[in-house]
Amino acid sequence: MTPAPASARPRQLPRPVLLPALRLPAAAGLIVFAVAVGTTQVALQVTNRQADRQLQQVGQVYLDGLVASVRPGLQAGDAAYISARFARAFGEQYGVVERALFAYAADGRLLARHGDPDLPEPAAEIVAGTTWRIDAETGIAWASRGVQEVSSPVGRLVAALDIAPVLAARERLAWTVVAVDLLLAAAFAVLTGLVLRRIGRPLRALVQELAEGAQRPPARLPEALVAGSDPRTRHVLRAYNRMADGVRERERLSAVLAEREQVAALGDLAATVAHEVRNPLGGLATAVSTLRRFGDRAEVREESLGFLERGIAALERIVTGTLDAYRPGDDRPLTRADFEDLRHLVRPAAERRGVTVAFDLDLPEGPIGLGSGGVRQVLLNLLLNACAATPPQGVVGLQARIVGGDLVCEITDQGDGLAPAEAMRLTGAAASEPGSRRLGIGVVVSLLGNLDAHASVTERPTGGTAIRLVIPLAIPGEGGGRG
C-alpha cells in the first residue's frame, strides 16, 4: 500500500500545555475538588445503607403487628379470617402504605391476598425465607415474616410496601447534596488554587530568575516580594539577592581591574617608547640646530646629515622592537574555528547586556588565506562595540563569506547608530582626533590598515548600524596572510 502524502495525513493538534505557574495551584485545586466530591459520595452511600436498615426495621415492626392480628387465621388455615384482617389493615394506612399483603401456609400455599390485583406475587426467595428486598424500579419493598407456634411453623406473611415516595425523596436529596457539594468543592478548589498561587509567587519569581541566569546576569528580586513571603521562603530569597549582589560586584570589580590593567599596559608601553625615543630625539635636535647655524659648510652638513640618518635608523629600530614585543611574530592562518571562538569571546559581554549574538558563517573548511590575529582582533572589537550599543533583548549579528578574492564580514547591531565622526574615522574619511582616549576605533582603524581592508558604515532601515568589512585574501605563495 502506498503511504498517503504528508499533506493528506490528519494533522495532529498540539497538546494543550498548562503554564508552569498554574500547574501546582491547578493540581491542588483538583485534589481538593476530588476529595470533597469523593467524601460526599461515601457519606451518601453510608446514609443510604442506614436508611435501608431503618426501612427494614419499620417493615418488620409493621409485620409484627400484622402477625398478631392474623395468627389465629394462619393456625386454623382460615382464608376468610385472614382476608378480613388484611382489609382492616388497609383501612388504617397512616404511616407505612401497603400495596398488597400475602399470607402463605406452612407448606407454601397461598391462603389469602389483599391489595393491588395487578401486583405480581412475591418472588420465590421472599416466600422461602428472605426477609427484606427493595425493588427500586417499581418502588416496592418486599418484607417477609415467618409465623411459628412454639417451635413449628404455621405460615408466612409477605407485605409489599410502597416506598416510591421515600426513594424519590432520597434521590432528590442525593442530587441536591451532589449539586451543593460540587459548588462548594469548586469554590474551595478555586480558593485553594488562588492561595497556593499567591504563596508560590515568590518561588516562581526565583525559579524564573534562575532559569534566565544563563542568558544574563542575575537580577535582584523586589524587596516587596521578599517581604511578603513566609519566613523560610524569605530566607531563601534574601540569600539569592545576596548572591546576585555578589555576582554584580565581582563583574564590576573585574571590569575595573581589566581597565586598570589596560591603562597600566599602555602606560608601560608609552614610558618605554618615550624613554627610548628621548635620547635619539635630543641628538636629532642638535643636528638640526647645527645645520641651521653651519649648514653652508660642506663637512658640517655631511656630518650632520649622517647623524640624522643614523638617528632616524635608531628610531626605526626602537619602533620595530616595540612592535615585535607587543605583537606576535608568527601569525597562524585564519580558519572557521576562529569565528567560532569569537562567539565564545563575545558571550560574556552579550549576557551582561542581555542581547543575543547571531552568526551566519558561509566559510570553507581549512585555512582561509589570512592571518588570524588581526582579523580576530578587528571583529572582536567591533562585536564588543555592537553589544555595548544594542539595548537589552536586541540582536547583534555577524555575517562572513568569501566573495571573489575577498573576505567580506558584516557586523550589525540595533543601537542608536555610530557617531558621524567615528564612522568617518572607521571608513578612513577623517583623521584621528588629537588627544582622543577612545582606543577601540583607533585600534580597529590601525588593524584595518595592516590588513589592506576597506570598511563602510550604513544605517539599517529597521534601526541600528551595519559595518561592512572587505579584507583582501593573501595571494598564493605569499604565506599565511597578513597580520
Q: Are residues 315 and 342 in the same domain?
A: no
pLDDT of residue 239: 85
Q: Taking Cα atoms as reference points, which of 387, 457, 450, 391 lies closest to residue 419? A: 457
Distance CA 385, CA 353 (A): 11
Q: Are residues 393 and 290 in the same domain?
A: no
Question: Cβ distance 226 to 241 under 8 Å?
Answer: yes
Kindly give the residue spans of alpha helices, DSSP state H, lying in 331-371: 336-353
pLDDT of residue 439: 42
Q: How many CB atoms lie within 10 A of CB 415?
A: 19
- Name residues whose C-beta falls within 8 Å of residue 334's C-beta, 6 or more positions apart in sequence: 367, 368, 369, 370, 371, 372, 375, 376, 407, 481
Residue finishing a domain among 171, 194, 228: 171
Beta strands in 354-405 (DSSP E): 356-362, 395-403
Q: Are residues 313 and 349 in the same domain?
A: no
> Is 281 part of any domain?
yes
Q: Are residues 305 and 378 in the same domain?
A: no
For residue 353, the domain's CATH number is 3.30.565.10
For residue 138, the domain's CATH number is 3.30.450
Q: Are residues 28 and 164 in the same domain?
A: yes
For residue 298, the domain's CATH number is 1.10.287
| Per-position pLDDT tens, the chain of length 483 | 445 454 445 455 444 444 555 566 677 767 877 887 788 778 878 888 887 888 788 887 888 888 888 888 888 888 888 888 888 888 776 666 888 899 898 888 888 888 888 888 888 778 777 788 888 888 888 888 888 887 788 888 888 888 888 888 888 888 888 888 788 877 877 777 777 677 767 777 777 777 776 666 777 888 877 777 777 777 888 888 888 888 888 878 877 877 787 777 677 677 767 766 765 676 677 778 787 888 788 887 787 787 777 778 767 766 766 665 555 555 678 888 888 888 878 888 888 889 999 999 999 888 888 887 788 888 888 898 889 889 999 999 999 999 988 999 999 998 887 777 777 777 765 444 443 334 456 667 777 887 888 889 888 888 888 999 999 987 544 444 444
Q: Are residues 345 and 296 in the same domain?
A: no
User: Dihedral through CA 220, CA 223, CA 229, CA 233, nearest 10?
Assistant: 40
Query: Letter for the amino acid at 411?
Result: I
Q: Are residues 268 and 361 in the same domain?
A: no
Which grid cell sits at 92? 388504617
User: If DSSP codes are grouped into helix, strand and coil, which group holds residue 96?
Assistant: coil
Q: Are residues 396 and 463 in the same domain?
A: yes
> Is 28 part of any domain?
yes
> Is 6 part of any domain?
no
Distance CA 387, CA 460 (A): 16
Query: Letter for the amino acid at 478?
Result: E
pLDDT of residue 87: 85
Q: Are residues 317 and 265 in the same domain?
A: yes
Residue finishing a domain among 326, 356, 372: 326
pLDDT of residue 320: 67
> Is 421 part of any domain?
yes
> Is 139 part of any domain?
yes
Helix (H) or strand (E) holding 461: none
Q: Are residues 296 and 160 in the same domain?
A: no
pLDDT of residue 275: 62
> Is 242 part of any domain?
no
pLDDT of residue 121: 84
Q: Are residues 302 and 350 in the same domain?
A: no
- Number of compact structural domains in the chain: 3
Q: Are residues 31 and 151 in the same domain?
A: yes
Residue finishing a domain among 305, 326, 347: 326
Question: Cβ distance 173 to 181 under 8 Å?
Answer: no
pLDDT of residue 440: 57
Domain assignment of residue 146, given as a range: 20-171
> Is 295 part of any domain?
yes
> Is 247 part of any domain?
no
pLDDT of residue 435: 38
pLDDT of residue 433: 44
